[in-house]
Amino acid sequence: MTAPIGAVAALASQAVTPTAAVAPPGGLNAAAPAAPTGGAGFANALGGALDNLQAVQSKADTLAVQAATGTLKDVHDYTIAATEASLATQLTVAVRNKAVEAFTEIMRMPA
């Protein structure tokens, strides 16, 4: 059972790093030095995820317009793109919620 616990601990340690990354945009500059390595990494990852979400959703939008105008070649092209867009949105929202949750958890700590 030590391995699963170790895995959870590793995840937990990663969860702390994102929190520090979230903190600087919130104006807590004092917290920034506490995350010397992970800050840019999480910001980049989140930015990349948002770019990816943007691309997936614009693809689904393009295909939706094609479906409305009758130029859509494959029905499943649109439905699959819409499914991927929905999944990507859910994933991004889940990551965002987790980051905010971790941040508020830290803020709740007694000073």
Q: Which stretch binds other proteins (CB under 8 A): 33-41, 60-68, 75-83, 103-111?
A: 75-83
CA distance 53 to 64: 16
Helical segments of the chain, H only: 2-22, 38-69, 75-107
Q: Closer to other proteins by CB, 20 or 82: give it.
A: 82
Residue type, 57: Q
For other proteins, give the closer residue by CB, 5 or 30: 5
What residues have CB less than 8 Å from 34, skipping those under 6 apart?
20
Which residue of 13, 54, 58, 97 would you call a contact of other proteins, by CB under 8 A?
97
Q: Is 83 in the site for other proteins (CB under 8 A)?
A: yes
Of the candidate residues 9, 68, 80, 107, the single one contacting other proteins (CB under 8 A)? 80
Exposed/middle/buried for 46, CB within 10 Å: 0-12, 13-18, 19+?
middle
63 binds other proteins (CB under 8 A): no
Nearer to other proteins, 9 or 98 (CB): 98
Amino acid identity of residue 64, one-letter, is: A
